[in-house]
Amino acid sequence: MNTIAAHIADFLKDYQPFDNLTFEELSEIATSIRVVNLEKHKTLFQINDVLHDSFYVVASGVINLSVIADAEETLLNKCHKGDIFGLRPFFAKNNYMMTAKAREESIVYAIPIATFRPFVANNTLVLNFLLESFATNTPNHHDKENLRGKLISDNVFYSDQQSEIQYFQSLTYNTSPLTVLTTAVIKDIAKLMTEEISSSVIICENNFPIGIVTDRDMCTKIATGRFQITDSIATIMASPVITVVENVSLAEAQLLMLKYNVTHLCVTLDGTAKSVVKGIISEHDLIIAQASNPGVLIKEIKRSQTPKDLKQIRERLTDLIQNSIHKNIPISHITNIASEINLAIIKRSVELSILDLGSPPARFAWLSIGSQGRKEQLLMTDQDSILVFEDVTPDKYREVKDYFLRLGRRTTATLEKVGFDLCPNGHMGSNMLWCKSLTDWTKQYNSWMNTPGENSNDLSSLFFDFEIAFGEPKIEEALENIIFKNAKNNTLFFDFLGNDALKKNAPLSFFKKFIIEEDGENKDKFDIKTRALMPLIDGARLFTLHYNIKGVNNTYMRFKQLAMIDPKNAEIYLNCADAFQTLSKFRTIEGLKNDDCGQFINLNEMSKIDKEKLKNNFAPMRELEELIKGKFKLTQFS
């Protein structure tokens, strides 16, 4: 082995995933590695370039990875010594989706994928490292313990929340693939594939898959004259065929294609070659699935020009939620992703209003309140928002407020076209009551919190759950500070809020029967929102304000945080967190089934097991109720 290759092998052994290979293996790989010298600002590859045959490791210097979104170059990551980047050729056949440029004079090692692939396929640790890093599209999470190197994916979806869905994102694939017997003649199959516009055919024996022929096989084996068109299809098939279960995820499919160096996977009933064929997944299907990735949806939202564009993206989110629930993904993961996309839609709606109206005359914040403010909006519920603008001189106030009311009306009209109904109670930034200056909002919160009984018809707890969708974060921060300042030792406020939480209607009667709606369009249905979810939401908010927990709006996360702050009652909080997740899932399934907000559950359509499961999740609510009564010295009638 030459000295350069020995030097490279010695360098690689200190970094992941190469530290999982033997020095002999590294030495073998190193002999085919190219050393690339890059001057400062020199580009190695850029967006839409055809993929290289290698991936890269930084030997010295710094490589910047960036994308261009909305005509702006955005730096995604900096790769330092030992970092891997440019992995895209491992996983996809379409062009690069980002630019790699030397920030300073740098040296990178180009590792040919053809050379490295066998070592990946034979080493689970290497394979898992690549898969995890590519599928999560974040700097390597092992770094917290081990700072010797991180792996940067050549993909564009960088936040944890946006990318975790690749682990469970479902694939749409051909569920009626071509299947033939081993005795079929190549000529007939080629004709059949052409007629059916199919890129593959599965060869079966006793209804089980034993091999596969792709259009590439037809080109490389028949067109070259190696086999005759009168031969049987079995002579050119690849065998065995790689099989997967029906609900395989995008990341799992990518892994298997990488591991076995194939372009098609055969879907069977139990995922083995000893069961019936249910479908075929092609590389093309993976590329299509990438387009439904939350990161892609958010990019499309940023480019949207009309409410119609946004509506189509929101509908794709509904499909994504449905697929994820079908795959039994934790509802907290699904909620994370849905809230990011909903937030991006709200933000874009405000941006489109500003493009129409011109620049705002003052800084402001558009805040989502209620369920979206808590990042819990999975279904298309009505919109709740407030608008807060910075203080301006009295002579400008009227003119400034008029602009923001127009902005509010345009934005809520856009969101209505997307599918978010207007709030029936008028809790929206387009309402002059809820569009005002920071000083006016300060007075409003002071009044609500210090004299709550006097204007209780005004006080709605949803104003205490908010999240900035657009604008100046310092305004949101100022509002939060006002709330927590007023909450300190405010017995009257907690008495009011605590009693409000206890007033919610019980889910079950004395005889443990569901309390259902007695009249109206939802007669005989169970109101899961008011009777089951709201007591948990209100309880979590009450204790969060009491314990001065800032910046945590989500009910599930509030309970998790409370369990740490008040360990004596941790079990109650954790039970409430689990109950909230389960009840949210029941509501979401109902909403998806009926294409509504899922508030009213038709108990007649539920199985006995599900009804019991629903009832079991009411138990933590009673524990929470007792905790509220004890902590705030309340009775239900105080």
**CA angle 109–110–116, rounded 5-degree value:** 115
132 and 231, same domain (yes or no): no
| pLDDT confidence of residue 73 | 62
CB-CB contact of 358 with 314 (8 Å): no
- The answer to the question of residue 248 being in a domain is yes
The DSSP code for 107 is E
Number of domains in the chain: 4
Distances (CA, A) of 182 to 188, 214, 224, 230, 232: 12, 15, 22, 13, 7
Task: Say yes or no to pLDDT of 193 above 80.
Answer: yes
Domain final position from 156, 191, 211 = 156
Q: What is the DSSP letter of 232?
A: B
Identify residue 618 by its one-letter amino acid code.
F
User: Are both 364 and 391 inside the same structural domain?
Assistant: yes
Same domain for 303 and 279: no
| Chain mean pLDDT for the chain | 84
Residue 515 and residue 624 in one domain = yes
506 domain residue, yes or no: yes
Place of tokens 């005509």: 71
Q: How far is it, in rounded angstroms, from Cα 544 to Cα 542?
A: 6
Expressed as residue numbers, the domain containing 515 is 494-631
3-state helix, strand and coil shares in percent for the chain, rounded to the nearest 5: 50, 15, 35
CB 198 within 8 A of CB 178: yes
Q: pLDDT per residue over 299-313, tens digit each? A: 889 889 999 999 998
pLDDT band at residue 544 using 50, 70 and 90 as cut-offs:
very high
Domain closes at, from 290, 319, 343: 290
Q: How do beta strands 243-244 and 264-268 pair?
A: parallel
Most confident among 53-57, 80-84, 314-318, 573-577 (mean pLDDT): 573-577
pLDDT in tens, 479-493: 999 999 999 989 989
Residue 370 lies in a domain: yes
Distance of CA 317 to the CA centre of its chain: 10
Higher pLDDT, 214 or 68: 214
Looking at residue 72, its pLDDT comes to 55
Whether residue 44 is contained in a domain is answered as yes
Instruction: Answer whether residue 168 is part of any domain.
Output: no
Cα distances (Å, whole numbers) of residue 136 to 56, 57, 164, 558, 580:
19, 19, 6, 26, 27
CATH of residue 321's domain is 3.30.460.10
pLDDT in tens, 103-142: 889 999 999 988 888 777 667 677 767 665 554 433 333 3
Answer yes or no: is 636 within a domain: no
More confident residue, 246 or 621: 621
Beta bridge partners of 43: 101
Enumerate the H helices of 92-159 as residue ranges: 113-121, 124-136
Q: Which helix (H) or strand (E) holds 420?
A: none
d(CA 163, CA 294): 7
Q: Do residues 33 and 147 both lie within one domain?
A: yes
- Tens of pLDDT, residue by residue over 199-234, are 899 999 888 999 999 988 888 888 777 888 888 898
| 11/124 same-domain check | yes
With respect to residue 219, please indicate whether it lies within any of the assigned structural domains: yes
Report, as an integer, the average pLDDT of 563-580.
Answer: 94
- Tell me how long the chain is: 638
β-strand 43-45 against 179-181: which pairing, if any?
unpaired
Residues 202 and 220 in one domain: yes
Task: Tokens for 96, please give them.
Answer: 């690069």
Co-location of 440 and 344 in the same domain = yes
**Residue 359 pLDDT level (bands cut at 50, 70, 90):** very high
Give 241-258 pLDDT, tens digit per residue.
Answer: 999 888 777 777 877 887
Q: How confident is the model at residue 512 (pLDDT cuts 50, 70, 90)?
A: confident
| pLDDT tens column, 6-42 | 889 989 988 888 888 888 889 988 999 999 999 988 9
Q: What is the pLDDT of residue 239?
A: 86
Whether 158 shows a pLDDT value over 70: the answer reads no
Q: With respect to residue 530, please indicate whether it lies within any of the assigned structural domains.
A: yes
Both 105 and 92 in a single domain?
A: yes
Rounded Cα distance between 457 and 135, Å, is 49
pLDDT tens digits along 394-419: 999 999 999 999 999 999 999 999 99
Say whether both 626 and 544 belong to one domain: yes
pLDDT at residue number 162: 38
Maximum CA extent, the chain: 91
Whether residues 7 and 124 fall in one domain = yes
Domain stops at, among 478, 504, 536: 478
431 shares its domain with 300: yes
**Separation CA 303–CA 286 (nearest Å):** 23
Where helices occur in 137-249 by DSSP H, the ranges are 160-163, 186-195, 215-217
